[in-house]
Amino acid sequence: MTIPTPAVQDRSRRIIAIDVARGIALLAMASYHFTWDLEFFGYTDPGLTAFGWWKFYARCIASTFLFLVGVSLFLAHGKQIRWNGFWKRFAMVGGAALAISAATRLAT
């Protein structure tokens, strides 16, 4: 009898529906930003993504991401947040964002 590795055990605890929703949200975001880029570079009418359906689409995508963040945070921490882990992750993400911002500032 073999003992499953921790990676296999963790994978079985994932909720596939949340992963699928994240994937769909990423594809939706990519499609919106592709259209925004087309508008920015003059390949579509000016203001296309600023009004009507495209604006609604962008808001739905952003709302979906925020909803999924909330669900994921609840699933990861339950009723009590683990502050040490939270702040460690926050520092990692914030540090990466700061590094990208600094590199962008230096490059432009």
* Entry pTM: 0.70
Is the Cα torsion angle 44, 46, 52, 54 positive or negative in sign?
Answer: positive
Q: Please report, rounded to a whole number, the percentage of residues in the chain having pLDDT higher than 90.
A: 74
d(CA 105, CA 95): 15
Structure confidence by residue, pLDDT tens digits, 6-45: 655 556 688 999 999 999 999 999 999 999 999 999 999 9
Measure CA 88 to chain center. Answer: 19
Q: How many helices (H) and strands (E) does the chain have?
A: 4, 0
Instruction: Tell me the C-alpha to C-alpha distance, in Å, between residue 105 and each of 74, 91, 96, 101.
Output: 35, 20, 14, 6
